[in-house]
Amino acid sequence: MNGGVFDSSLAVFEDGTTHCHQLALSHFQKGGNYVLAQRALAHMYYIDTNKDLDVRRKHQRLAFDLFKKAAAQNDVTAMGFLGEQYERGIGCPQDLEMALHYYRLAIKAGSLVGELALALLLHQMKRYPEALQHFTHLANTTVIKPRGDRSSYQYVLEHDLARVKCRARFMVARYLQNGWGGCVKDPVAAFKNFVQLADVDGYEHAYYWVAVGYKTGISIDSASDGNDNKKNDRHQVDGGMMTTPTTLMVVQQPDLMQAMGYFEKAATLNNDQEAQMEMAKLCSNGFKYTTRTSGGLLTKTYKDRTGALKWYEMAAAQHGNALAHYCAGIYYAKGLAPLENKDVDKAMAYYTASAKQGYTLAMVQLAQLIIQETSSIHTDDDDDALDKAHAQYKVAFDWLTTAAEKQDPAAFRELAHMYEKGLYPHHALSETVRYQQGFTLLGHPLLLKDPQAWCAKSRYYEHGWFVDQDLDRSVYCLEQSYPLRSQVGWFARLDRSRMVVMASDGTSLAEQQQILGWLHGMADQNAGEASIEPLLLLAMCFELGLGAPPNITEAKRLYEKAVAITTTSETHWPQQNARFRLAKLCVDQQLYETALTHFQVLKLKLSCMNHHSPETRLQARQVRYYLGYLLLNGYGTECDEQQGIDWLTQAADEGEGDACYTLGKLYLDKKQHDDDENVQQATRRFDQGVSTGHPGCMRELALLIQQEHQADKDWDGVETYDLLERAQRLGDVEALVRLAVAVQYGLGTMIKKGNITMALGWYRTAAQLGHPKAAVYAAVAFHELQQHELAVEWFQMQPDSLVSQVWLAFYRLKGVGGLALDPVKAFQQLHQVVTDYEFDKQQDIGDRNALGLAYFLVGRCYEEGEGVPHEDHAQAMLYYDLARQRTQDVEATYRLGILLFQQQQSDSIIDRQQRAFECFDAAASKGNLEAKYMVGVYHARGLGGMVPDKAAAHIHLQRAIRDGHTRAILELGHVLWSARKYSEAIDQFKKAAELKIPEASYHLGRLYHEGVRDRSFAKSNSGDGSPSSSGTPMVIPQDYHQAFFYFMKAAKQAHPMANMMVGTYYQEGYDAAFHPIDYMEALHYYNLAYEYQGGHVVELAIAKLLHTMADREDEATQANKYHQMAFHWFLQASPSKQAPDDLTEQRLYEAQMMVAFYYLNGWGGVAKDCKLGFSLLLDAANNGASDAFMDVARCYENGIGVDADKAQAYQYWSFAADMNLVEAMDRISVYYREGWGGLDVDQAAADNWETKATLLRNGDSDRDSSVYTTTSTSTY
């Protein structure tokens, strides 16, 4: 089979794939009778786009033959294509019955596409019942994605079966809309289906019909709503009974703003010609809509001539729409806004395109434009210009002739004008013939009511053109034109005035002033009933400030004048409009009784108003709203809540957004808790209001949805955000503020927090629009951006706001934002706030949070002693606890935990730690980093009575580390160390050290300084379970050089003990190879340790170093100086200088002993005072300083600073001997041999002690009996 060559044998597609059609063709041809090859080959022929029509038709016939073969083998796709070919007559004669046959075969084979094609064809053939049956079946079919061994072409052809279902549902909606096929006409159901298809499924063909629904409104008569149980609603009014008349049940109120949105989608997404024209008309003619502002309801007018021109040009360019071409031509011919100048060439092009489609208005306008432009050509002595002018006139003449043949009245008049002026044909007709032709045309029956035609005929009689000169006849023609001109003038001006008033946003001041003058003149004629509408429009000018400054008093007077005029008809609609507007003005001016009187009059007309026009239908539901509003609040009458609710309910059910809002707020005010029936009723009413486009309802529903999901961590927040965004677009300032809050602090899972810049822009806009708290919100945003001066400036715009008071006090407390530091005044202001404001009475979440911040700041002042006479931790804890309980303030909760943890009271430490843990745990759960660390510490150390739990500690500390808490790394290292995971622990210590945690570096220094063995290993390998050092593996080998590295690292970070250890290294020479002994360096680091609050142990180290330096100093003066300095530091470190109740540090009796030695020996110029020296030694010994025992014994034995008393000496020698001190044993031996201290001579006892001493001495005991060995000469 040779089908020829494809015109695109090689093609590269957007996805990067290259398709070689000719090669595919050759392979498919080799497929023989294989059904998939036949169908694939047929499809290639069917879709070929060969530029040669004969080749393309040949391919279509080949496709037909191949599809038939494939269909004969039950290929469902081939059946569908055959049906399409028969339906369209492609590759075969058109045969609709055969098309139906193949579509039915495809349906039997399970093809949904085939069933849709069948239904559409039956619809086209007007076999509606059959078509509806198939559309309904498809609409109710569950779409299952193709699977199994289906070919790629089948996937291509049926890739989106969901669209098949959408198309079917769309057609079902069209049938319901029009009542086709015997189905019950149901516009409500149709509209809902269109909305579902448009908004949920994104089906582009539905947008236009949704727009039509919003444009015209969807309503049904309540008397025929299918409900057999009709209610006879009766209401008690002024002691009588009022029966509510039957009204239309409005399902969807006309909403041109919503309509425009959907027309725009249809126009752009579906390239819908009618939608583009609707958009152009809406933009060109404009329309009024109602929006809510801070001052109440405001009626605005939307008009967009720029948009109108855009849509006209789009419809013209994409669809060749004749009317679109004509309207675009008008813009360019007259230079209408947004155009700054005329563009004759474009105008002619557009008029021509429209005229060629037979649009007679375009023909006439085109001819007039040609005549206008040609008349400006200078033809004097210029034959070429003259010929060009005549050629143009001929074109105009031809268009007018064509339009006249189509019975356009203006065409006859303009042709007569050309004959009268001799514009065409030139030289061909005599003047008499031209006038004859012109007069004949003016007499056409279509011009009997054309004032311009009568004026033209008057000129003929006046000048005697073709007819005899007859002035009376001329006057008669003029008189015939006057009534027409007068009537046209009155109504034209009235129409023009109505247009300007109703579309005020798109008109200039000059236009407004012109119609104001017209209306004044028309109203001053006191033409009775005819004056009502001019009075109405004139009053609206004064009410809206059109052409003159707003003057409500004058507007009210004119409305009252219009209302007072007696009318011939029972219902005069302009007068009804005036009464309605007058009643609304009275409400605004709080003239409630007068307003109620007018609304009661309008109440009698509600039924008529519902059926007259969309405008009066809108007014009817607003009358119901105002009646409900006045009765509910008791304005102008006694309060009748139930009757007010009844009227508001009627208005709400008819689509009045304000009524929905009022009812919703009423139910919210009555709620007892967040999920009671009142909240449900409020939600229903707000939801109802949203469908009417009421921004307040959108906002309130959004907030209710947010409140409902506030505990749901998986809630995305999108619905609330979308509602707020819609409300904001409609002018709701509170919604704008709520949107700002959402982007600043986050909303659900989708709207992330932190977009402060965007929030700030919205706050500022809201503040400019008069929102009472927007300035405060903006100030808080500036604070978060750390622009403190701007924050103060914005807080000061609302100084009486609770939030402003708290934050201004905060800035004064810190001395930032341009406010002078004044803690006392700041504390007084904060204390005043927490005293004056009751937390439970604050409804606004911002005020509640501000009060919580005030509690926290007052607590902080008490804790730090800022602005108060002294620190008061009890008061601090009281206010921290208030902030914790009332606003769950995280920082306050953590600070309360810290104060409880540090509290020094007589109650149980465990109880305090437990209470502190509760605070840490709560703060940690809300993200406080320090609290997370403390929870880990509790588990690690078993604080608060907890059992140490290394696993839990590990988890909590890891969380703190993950969130950036570096000290948690050190604590985790300790946890791992205690779990004998030494390698992991050391890694954590090193990580912490690298992160500049000085405690980590110091700890590593201690480990390397001492060296660490695995004692558990030693125990497990010893026979008796006792520790043994033999074979014990080293966890960390002793490494003085590495120890010095870490000590120095911590020392540079101001760690006092690390500085002391560096000094020790320089004093003792532990790392002498790299850091030799250097007493001055050692003294330098000891002094640093002291500056860093190292305490008494550092003082002792300095004293000992100076004492050593004195001993080793050869120059007596310098040695004496060192001794004096050493004595000063020993004295400072001595417990004798500490208060008795000071338990913060260990008592260093070593220092006291050295002070005693200085008094006993008179070193460093210290006055020798043996008695004082002895008392200090004795005090040290009696307080457990065992190293002082032998020195006290010597003093008693030798009578140094005390009377000699060998019995007392024996006591202290015994204490020392019990500590295995050899010298003490030797002295006891002497005491027994000599019988000193009241002892009996006992040689055996003496020998025993001497033997003990000898054994210890022979055992090479190197224990030094003194705490400090000095080369200084002792007195004993």
pLDDT tens digit sequence for 1222-1252: 999 999 999 999 999 889 999 999 999 999 9
Q: What is the pLDDT of residue 244?
A: 41
Provide the token pair at 733.
């300032």
Is residue 193 classed as helix, strand or coil in its secondary structure?
helix
Mean pLDDT across the stretch 707-733? Answer: 89
pLDDT tens digit sequence for 1033-1068: 788 899 999 999 999 999 999 999 999 999 999 999
Is residue 1011 classed as helix, strand or coil in its secondary structure?
coil
Q: How far is 69 from 593, CA to CA, in rounded Å?
A: 86
Q: Which residue has the higher pLDDT, 1195 or 27?
A: 1195
Question: Please, are residues 176 and 189 in contact by the beta-carbon 8 Å criterion?
Answer: yes
Mean pLDDT across the stretch 563-587? Answer: 90
Band (pLDDT 50/70/90 cuts) for residue 122 is very high
Q: How far is 648 from 666, CA to CA, in rounded Å?
A: 11
Helix segments in 1134-1273, DSSP class H:
1149-1161, 1170-1182, 1189-1198, 1206-1217, 1222-1234, 1243-1258
Strand partners, 11: 19
Q: What is the pLDDT of residue 81?
A: 92
With 0-12 CB in 10 A as exposed, 13-18 as middle and 19+ as buried, what is 329? buried
Provide the token pair at 706.
């947010």
Angle of helix 677-691 versus helix 657-669 axis, rounded to 10: 160
Tell me which DSSP letter residue 751 carries: B
- The values of phi and psi at residue 1237, to 5°, are 65, 25
Whole-prediction pTM: 0.49
Question: Please, are residues 198 and 265 in contact by the beta-carbon 8 Å criterion?
Answer: yes
Q: What is the pLDDT of residue 74?
A: 87
Mean pLDDT across the stretch 551-555? Answer: 92
Provide the token pair at 712.
């749901």
pLDDT tens digit sequence for 294-303: 767 778 888 8
Band (pLDDT 50/70/90 cuts) for residue 583 is very high
Q: What is the pLDDT of residue 477?
A: 75
Question: Please, are residues 326 and 365 in contact by the beta-carbon 8 Å criterion?
Answer: yes
Angle (CA) 105 106 108, round 5°:
65
How far are the Cα atoms of 108, 129, 138, 175, 1185 from residue 132, in angstroms, in the given order? Answer: 18, 5, 10, 7, 109
Residue 1137 pLDDT greater than 70, yes or no? no
Provide the token pair at 1133.
């470190």
Mean pLDDT across the stretch 459-479? Answer: 79
Angle of helix 573-588 versus helix 614-633 axis, rounded to 10: 30
Residue 241 pLDDT greater than 50, yes or no? no
- What number of H helices and E strands is found in the chain? 61, 10
Residue 186's identity, in one-letter code, is: D
- Residue appearing with tokens 């298809």: 197
Q: How far is 423 from 444, CA to CA, in rounded Å?
A: 21
- Per-residue HEC secondary structure of 293-359 comes to ECCEEEEEEECCHHHHHHHHHHHHHHHCCHHHHHHHHHHHHHCCCCCCCCCHHHHHHHHHHHHCCCC
Band (pLDDT 50/70/90 cuts) for residue 23 is low
Tell me which DSSP letter residue 143 carries: P
Tell me which DSSP letter residue 1142 carries: -
Question: Please, are residues 748 and 718 in contact by the beta-carbon 8 Å criterion?
Answer: yes
Question: Please, are residues 442 and 461 in contact by the beta-carbon 8 Å criterion?
Answer: no
Residue 145 pLDDT greater than 70, yes or no? no
Q: How far is 525 from 486, CA to CA, in rounded Å?
A: 14
Query: Average model confidence (pLDDT) for the chain?
Result: 83
Mean pLDDT across the stretch 10-18? Answer: 47
Q: What is the pLDDT of residue 608?
A: 86
Helix segments in 1055-1138, DSSP class H:
1056-1068, 1079-1091, 1096-1112, 1116-1133
Angle (CA) 563 568 570, round 5°:
75
Provide the token pair at 1007.
């480990």
- Residue appearing with tokens 């072409």: 153
Instruction: Determine how many CB atoms are found less than 10 A away from the CB of residue 479.
Output: 11
Share of the chain above pLDDT 90, in %: 38
Question: Please, are residues 215 and 206 in contact by the beta-carbon 8 Å criterion?
Answer: no
Q: How far is 347 from 331, CA to CA, in rounded Å?
A: 8
Band (pLDDT 50/70/90 cuts) for residue 698 is very high
Q: How far is 1103 from 1082, CA to CA, in rounded Å?
A: 12
Mean pLDDT across the stretch 820-845? Answer: 88
Q: Calculate the dihedral angle through the C-alpha atoms of 554, 560, 566, 570, rounding to the nearest 10 degrees.
A: 120
Instruction: Determine how many CB atoms are found less than 10 A away from the CB of residue 1140.
Output: 6
Residue 1109 pLDDT greater than 80, yes or no? yes
pLDDT tens digit sequence for 957-990: 888 888 888 888 888 888 888 888 888 889 988 9
Q: What is the pLDDT of residue 56?
A: 86
Q: What is the pLDDT of residue 501?
A: 81
pLDDT tens digit sequence for 626-664: 999 999 999 989 999 999 999 999 999 988 999 999 999
pLDDT tens digit sequence for 52-76: 888 888 888 988 988 888 888 888 8
Residue 4 pLDDT greater than 60, yes or no? no
Strand partners, 232: none
Strand partners, 220: 249
Residue 17 pLDDT greater than 60, yes or no? no
Question: Please, are residues 1186 and 1148 in contact by the beta-carbon 8 Å criterion?
Answer: no
Residue 1 pLDDT greater than 70, yes or no? no
Residue 1267 pLDDT greater than 90, yes or no? no
Mean pLDDT across the stretch 819-847? Answer: 88
Residue 427 pLDDT greater than 70, yes or no? no
pLDDT tens digit sequence for 888-898: 889 999 898 88
Q: How far is 1263 from 1267, CA to CA, in rounded Å?
A: 10
pLDDT tens digit sequence for 378-411: 666 677 777 888 888 889 999 999 999 998 888 8
